[in-house]
Each structure stands twice: as structure tokens, then as C-alpha cells.
């Protein structure tokens, strides 16, 4: 499995999930979100003018992930703001 971010300003580095890894909130924070925020977020959004949007995976809606993003002062769409499950609503899933 691979995680990536795309935006009008460019793309993030791909983050590969180790085969057989259990993707818990802690794994997602440590192996995906922290490296993304450290390495890519500032490069892609030097003015901190982004709104982070995740797909509707249950892990993305967890309270732990929502709190982490809030604590990091990342502006993001909450699960209540996400569009319904539609191929047009998640262009990242179909772009690559």
C-alpha cells in the first residue's frame, strides 16, 4: 500500500506501508502524517494555506487522528464535511 498527497502545488513523496503492517492510528501518525508534515507540507504550502482532505477510510475519521491534526494546527476537513462515497469526490484514488 502507498500513501501520497497531490495538490495544485505539487505532489508529496510516496510513503510505503510495510507489507503485513497493521495500520493503527499510531502507525499512521508516525509513519505517514509526521513525515508528510515535516518533509512535504512546508514545501508545498509555505504560506500554510492548505486544507488537508483525507478519504473516507475509517482510520482517517478516528478521534486520535483528528486530535493529532488539530494539535499540529493543520486545517483539515472533518469527517462530517466529507462528500459521500463517490469516485468524483476522491480524485487522488483515481489520478495515479
Identify which of 52, 59, 55 has the alpha carbon closest to the alpha carbon of residue 23.
59
Task: State the pLDDT at residue 57.
Answer: 77
In the chain (96 residues long), the average pLDDT of successive 10-residue segments reads: 86 90 92 93 86 79 91 83 58 52
Integer Cα distance of 96 and 36 in angstroms: 18
Domains of the chain, first to last: 2-95 (3.30.420.10)
| Rounded distance between C-alpha atoms, residue 41 and residue 13, angstroms | 10
Contact in structure between 68 and 29 (CB atoms under 8 Å): yes
Q: What percent of the chain has pLDDT over 90?
A: 33
Q: What is the pLDDT of residue 1?
A: 86
| pLDDT at residue 13, as a whole number | 92
pLDDT of residue 79: 72
Length of the chain: 96
Amino acid at each position: 500500500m502507498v500513501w501520497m498527497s497531490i495538490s495544485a502545488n505539487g505532489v508529496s513523496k510516496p510513503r510505503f506501508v510495510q507489507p503485513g503492517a497493521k495500520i493503527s492510528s499510531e502507525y499512521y501518525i508516525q509513519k505517514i502524517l509526521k513525515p508528510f508534515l515535516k518533509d512535504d507540507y512546508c514545501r508545498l504550502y509555505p504560506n500554510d494555506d492548505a486544507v488537508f482532505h483525507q478519504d473516507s477510510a475509517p482510520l482517517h475519521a478516528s478521534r486520535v487522528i483528528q486530535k493529532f491534526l488539530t494539535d499540529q494546527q493543520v486545517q483539515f476537513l472533518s469527517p462530517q464535511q466529507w462528500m459521500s462515497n463517490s469516485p468524483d469526490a476522491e480524485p487522488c484514488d483515481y489520478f495515479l
